[in-house]
């Protein structure tokens, strides 16, 4: 009888333990479903990553050294970049564009990223780079502008907003450069302008490629390939941006204001733009356009890093 009761007790303990494990698993699943959804805490426009990574890499390599302060800067910059996603999701929820059930997760990640930013900034201030906080000032009104557009369902295809926003992100280049050399140097502003102008040209070119996809089926049946004049009419702005960048860096190099061969990365981008104007992205998927843009931006970043030090 005692043996039977002991077996029953052990069986009940096993069932209770199993039920507890099921509850824990279900709780973790619910937590993951609520707080760890990619669309809440990670940017969904994957091409935007290059606009923060490229300036950081350019500045870090131009600075020539990677210190604890450099790590703090990278963490602060990346967390600030990521913060945009949960804040945007929260604004969409308040504006009725997303379910209110997204708010707990959005608030959670706003707090997480906010704490990371504060800790990283504390490291920078302790290392003597508190003046870098001034670089964040232009970002506040630009971010507020973006959120206002989000609240009005008008954030898409805002090329001018994106051009200004990349100018803010490009400030990561001089910041990383100054941290790398351990002091302020006016050459950092050249890095900012050079990176910003490249990303601006990249955005305008991306919009051109997306616009080329919109040729109607009826139009293509009639002409198959658009006339050269129409292609240039559509692509003149992208060509003007990349041509200006190429000519400016070539001239500044010849006058020894910038490295003489710094025009090479801009020649890569100019060549891609010329090719893209004459070979429209008809029926291309956005993913294909994005991957090609990523490859070109990666080549630009690598060649810039190399030629800046020559």
| Domain boundaries, given as residue ranges, for the chain | 39-184, 186-310
Residue 140: alpha-carbon gap to chain centroid: 17
Nearest to 68 by CA among 15, 155, 128: 128
Q: What is the pLDDT of residue 40?
A: 86
Kindly state the average pLDDT of the residues 260-280: 96
Q: What is the pTM of this model?
A: 0.86
Residue 236: alpha-carbon gap to chain centroid: 26
**Percent of the chain beyond pLDDT 90?**
69
User: 213 pLDDT band (50/70/90 cuts)?
Assistant: confident
């Amino acid at each position: 009888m005692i043996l039977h009761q002991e077996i029953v007790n052990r069986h009940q303990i096993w069932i209770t333990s199993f039920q507890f494990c099921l509850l824990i698993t279900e709780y973790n699943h619910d937590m993951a479903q609520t707080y760890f959804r990619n669309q809440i805490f990670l940017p969904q426009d994957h091409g935007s990553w290059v606009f923060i990574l490229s300036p950081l890499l350019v500045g870090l390599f131009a600075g020539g050294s990677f210190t604890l302060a450099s790590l703090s800067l990278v963490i602060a910059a990346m967390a600030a970049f990521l913060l945009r996603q949960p804040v945007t999701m929260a604004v969409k929820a308040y504006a009725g564009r997303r379910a209110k059930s997204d708010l707990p997760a959005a608030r959670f990640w706003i707090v997480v990223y906010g704490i990371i930013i504060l800790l990283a900034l504390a490291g920078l201030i302790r290392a003597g780079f508190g003046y870098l906080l001034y670089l964040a000032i232009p970002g506040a009104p630009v971010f507020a502008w973006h959120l206002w557009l989000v609240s009005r369902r008008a954030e898409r295809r805002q090329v001018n907003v994106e051009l200004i926003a990349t100018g803010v992100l490009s400030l990561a280049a001089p910041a990383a450069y100054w941290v790398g050399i351990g002091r302020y140097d006016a050459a950092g502003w050249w890095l900012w302008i050079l990176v910003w102008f490249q990303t601006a040209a990249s955005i305008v070119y991306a919009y051109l490629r997306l616009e080329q996809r919109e040729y109607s089926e009826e139009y293509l049946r009639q002409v198959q390939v658009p006339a050269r004049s129409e292609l240039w009419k559509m692509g003149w702005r992208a060509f003007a941006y990349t041509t200006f960048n190429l000519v400016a860096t070539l001239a500044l190099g010849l006058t020894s204001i910038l490295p003489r061969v710094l025009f090479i990365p801009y020649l890569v981008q100019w060549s891609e733009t010329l090719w893209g104007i004459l070979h429209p992205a008809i029926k291309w998927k956005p993913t294909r356009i994005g991957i090609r843009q990523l490859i070109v931006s990666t080549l630009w970043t690598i060649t810039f890093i190399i030629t800046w030090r020559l």
